[in-house]
Amino acid sequence: MRQSQTVLRIRGVTKRFGPLVANDDVSLELRRGEMLALLGENGAGKTTLMHILFGHYRADEGEVEVMGRPLPPGSPRAALDAGVGMVHQHFTLAANMTVLENVTVGTRPLFSARLRQGAARRRLADLSARFGLHVDPDARVRDLSVGQRQRVEILKALYRDTRILILDEPTAVLTPQEGEQLFATLRLLVNRGLAVILITHKLREVMAASDRCVVLRHGRVVLRTATHETDADTLARAMVGGEVPRVGRRPGEPGAEVLALDGAVLCDDGGRTLLDGLNLTLRAGEILGIAGVSGNGQAALADMVSGLLRPQAGELRVHGRAVAAPSPAGMLALGVGRVPEDRIGTGLVGDLSVMENLVLEIYRQRPWSRWGLLDFSAMRRGARELIARFDVRCQGPGAPARQLSGGNMQKLILARVLSGNPSVILANQPTWGLDVGAATFVHKALMEASRAGAGVLLISEDLDEIFQVADRIQVMHRGRLSAPVRPDEADAAAIGLAMSGHGDARSEAARAS
């Protein structure tokens, strides 16, 4: 009966931020040797709940019990000592330190002076072997792949005798194969009595891996069920509180070439190759999906299409004409609209108002300015129109852009890009961090633009998204693109293989079997 021992009990936790109730009377239980999936859209309160459990926040009401003992609130140290380990979505590893250093930092009282690395090294090697988490203890973290870094994070938790392991969106950064390997590891851990909480919104993973599900919406628990008694549709409906909107596909009618890269080569200052003779053709009226794990040259590709970088060899063509000296303004003038990856950093100017952000790329033109002076009444009128058309939720044209939520920021960027009727649209991770509703809006807007004749270059790490909206799919790996395939001809496994580079993928598969 050891299997049913309750290791974690959260009772009636409520957390308010001003008028916003992030967690509203949330209760849940976790037993030894089970995997619980915690689901919900962005802003549903999953992360807040985990921050409370881990001691980053104090709950306004309610309590947390670990192994039958109340957990003192507001202390990460206490949570760690009680056996709660967390693998954050953004890893908490110092890149310049070695694996061993990252694992051992803070594990002993600070003032026992000696490191005693010998014992630590043996313990780490033992854990690696026991759970198949192979990683070189003396490697610097910066030299590790994302999948390896995640292994280090898990090892870090295991090293501290974690009994409750929380993983926040663990597969967001992994190839499908790496994801499978991760779940194999987690299964092993659960079978040995660890309790795992998996925070995710990928229903496929939930159905495949978890034992029980808890769905949060608007800070409340709306569904609590055993996984084998439910299905993905039910969970999705619980998450969004109604029917899931679907994006309709349409038969592609590709037109003339609007954007092309021919043997584009780019190296960074350190001589590392970012783009390795990349070929790409985007046609009018199609959505070309570029899949791949980030860090394989997507940023360089996006910067090149934006006019921020010029290829060191090869050619960039827009509408069939070579662009000799690309610049951001030049690419804009050629009709290239950009939805950048980093909304707050490069997409918007947070301290400028909504209307100012809307004219950021065209403020020199009439009617937005005359004789060098901005015409604010024209800007306000134009902004009102776009706010209504793109359903940007904000206090008005004068509201600072930084006050907007992530989804509304993206709508604002789309409003700016699409109102210019671009013939090429670069959309880099356009739905990253957005909830299902906002993501659907983005997908619809991109599909509408392509139907109207624009070529859309969609760079995304989210395979589901690519399969859902793209007409052709290419996979980016180490600065090169795989041959294009149509989504109905492609299968996810083959795409995943290409994402990890063919050779690697085979060996990974061999190791897993």
Using CB under 8 A, list all residues that contact another protein.
51, 56-57, 76-77, 79-81, 86, 88, 90, 92-97, 101-102, 104-115, 140, 142, 156, 269-272
Q: Can you say whether the dihedral through the CA atoms of 234, 235, 238, 239 is positive or negative?
A: negative
- To another protein, the closest distance from the beta carbon of 172 in angstroms equals 18
Coil, strand or helix: which one is 94? Answer: coil
Coil, strand or helix: which one is 370? Answer: strand
- To another protein, the closest distance from the beta carbon of 442 in angstroms equals 27
Distance CA(385)–CA(380), nearest Å, equals: 9
Return the DSSP state at 224. E
Strand 212-217, strand 220-226: pairing: antiparallel
Closer residue to another protein (CB): 108 or 478: 108
- To another protein, the closest distance from the beta carbon of 99 in angstroms equals 12
Within the chain, what is the greatest distance between any pair of CA atoms? 81
Tokens linked to 384? 């009102």
Distance CA(367)–CA(387), nearest Å, equals: 18
Distance CA(345)–CA(328), nearest Å, equals: 16
- To another protein, the closest distance from the beta carbon of 157 in angstroms equals 10
Distance CA(32)–CA(30), nearest Å, equals: 7
The crossing angle, in degrees rounded to 10, of helices 436-451 and 232-240 is: 100
- To another protein, the closest distance from the beta carbon of 119 in angstroms equals 13
Closer residue to another protein (CB): 10 or 427: 10
- To another protein, the closest distance from the beta carbon of 44 in angstroms equals 16
Name the residue type at position 176. Answer: P
Closer residue to another protein (CB): 135 or 505: 135
Name the residue type at position 98. Answer: T
- To another protein, the closest distance from the beta carbon of 222 in angstroms equals 24
* Closest alpha carbon to 391 in 363, 356, 426, 418: 418
Q: Are 386 and 419 in contact (CB under 8 A)?
A: yes
Return the DSSP state at 55. T
Closer residue to another protein (CB): 112 or 377: 112
Closer residue to another protein (CB): 22 or 456: 22
Closer residue to another protein (CB): 142 or 187: 142
Closer residue to another protein (CB): 268 or 342: 268
Closer residue to another protein (CB): 104 or 500: 104
**Residue 446: which H helix or E strand, with range?**
helix 436-451
- To another protein, the closest distance from the beta carbon of 95 in angstroms equals 6
Distance CA(355)–CA(256), nearest Å, equals: 34
- To another protein, the closest distance from the beta carbon of 425 in angstroms equals 34
Q: Are 127 and 133 in contact (CB under 8 A)?
A: yes
- To another protein, the closest distance from the beta carbon of 151 in angstroms equals 16
Closer residue to another protein (CB): 83 or 326: 83
DSSP state letters, 174-212: S-HHHHHHHHHHHHHHHHTT-EEEEEE--HHHHHHH-SE
> For residue 373, how far is the Cα from the chain centroid?
41
Q: Are 214 and 221 in contact (CB under 8 A)?
A: yes
Closer residue to another protein (CB): 152 or 203: 152
Coil, strand or helix: which one is 465? Answer: helix
Closer residue to another protein (CB): 91 or 183: 91
Closer residue to another protein (CB): 76 or 277: 76
- To another protein, the closest distance from the beta carbon of 69 in angstroms equals 18
What letters, b where the CB count within 10 A reaches 16 and e where it falls short, cover 291-326?
Answer: bbbbebbbbbbbbbbbbbbbbeebebebeeeebeeb
DSSP state letters, 470-507: -SEEEEEETTEEPPPB-TTT--HHHHHHHHT-HHHHHH
- To another protein, the closest distance from the beta carbon of 110 in angstroms equals 6
